[in-house]
């Protein structure tokens, strides 16, 4: 039975071309007796997450429209060891193989494929541990330099963000309830913003006179 394959070509920058990859993979598919259902081209760096064309190929795999995906080398497909093993596991669940032109084939239905997948899973976990260790080390170093993380006491991130808009709407004659509805805030938050502004001495006389008449 002839296997249906999708060809995936990727380059990192716009000044590069997928022409060589396409030519080599079409020749490889012909020699191997594969039926090519299409060729997908991507221009994206190795670490870019939003790969539109790769998603299309994955969708074909999920719908069982193809039996395998052809790439010139595994680095053209995976962003990292973790990404490669995760997509391999997805492809395995759909019974789709990932084949590199070099002859390396990740077919998890074979003992060799499962061994390679197991080794890669171990490498992926090692990579995760390294990332976590770097993050913890970076945070510790930043704290040692006096940098503070997270919300600090007295900070009102959401209220401070909406304060100019709230005060503007107060000036325009909106009630606290209407402001809360339009900005998706609680009426208490709106009231607190106006109260703090009034106490700061920055509130204009016109704002004070109008706010006195609002229905709270």
- The catalytic residue positions are 12
Q: Which residues, listed in sequence order, are joined to residue 7 by a DSSP beta bridge?
A: 39, 70
Tell me if 76 sits within 8 A of 9, measured CB to CB: yes
Cβ atoms of residues 42 and 79 within 8 Å: no
Question: Contact at 8 Å (CB) between 61 and 91?
Answer: yes
95: left (phi over 0), alpha (psi -120 to 50) or beta: left
- State the Cα–Cα distance between residues 78 and 120, nearest whole angstrom: 12
Phi/psi zone of residue 42: left (φ > 0), alpha (ψ -120 to 50 degrees), beta?
A: beta
Q: Is 38 strand, coil or helix?
A: strand
Q: Would you say how long the chain is, in residues?
A: 216
Spacing of C-alpha 154 from chain mean position: 32
Neighbours of 40 (CB within 10 A): 20
* Token output for 139: 């945070």
């Amino acid at each position: 039975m002839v296997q249906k394959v999708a060809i995936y070509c990727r380059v990192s920058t716009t000044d590069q071309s997928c022409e060589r990859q396409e030519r080599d993979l079409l020749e490889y598919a012909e020699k191997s007796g594969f039926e090519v259902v299409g060729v997908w081209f991507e221009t994206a760096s190795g670490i870019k997450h939003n790969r539109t064309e790769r998603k299309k190929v994955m969708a074909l795999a999920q719908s069982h429209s193809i039996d395998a995906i052809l790439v010139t080398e595994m680095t053209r497909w995976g962003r990292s060891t973790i990404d490669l093993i995760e997509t391999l596991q997805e492809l395995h669940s759909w019974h789709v193989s990932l084949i590199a032109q070099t002859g390396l084939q990740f077919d998890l239905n074979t003992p060799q494929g499962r061994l390679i997948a197991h080794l890669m899973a171990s490498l992926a976990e090692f990579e995760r541990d390294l990332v976590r260790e770097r993050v913890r080390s970076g945070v510790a170093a930043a704290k040692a330099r006096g940098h503070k993380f997270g919300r600090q006491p007295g900070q009102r991130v959401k209220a401070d963000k909406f304060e100019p808009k709230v005060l503007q709407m107060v000036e325009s004659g909106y009630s606290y309830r209407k402001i809360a509805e339009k900005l998706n805030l609680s009426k208490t938050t709106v009231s607190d913003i106006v109260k703090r502004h009034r106490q700061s001495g920055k509130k204009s006389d016109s704002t004070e006179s109008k706010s006195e008449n609002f229905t709270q």
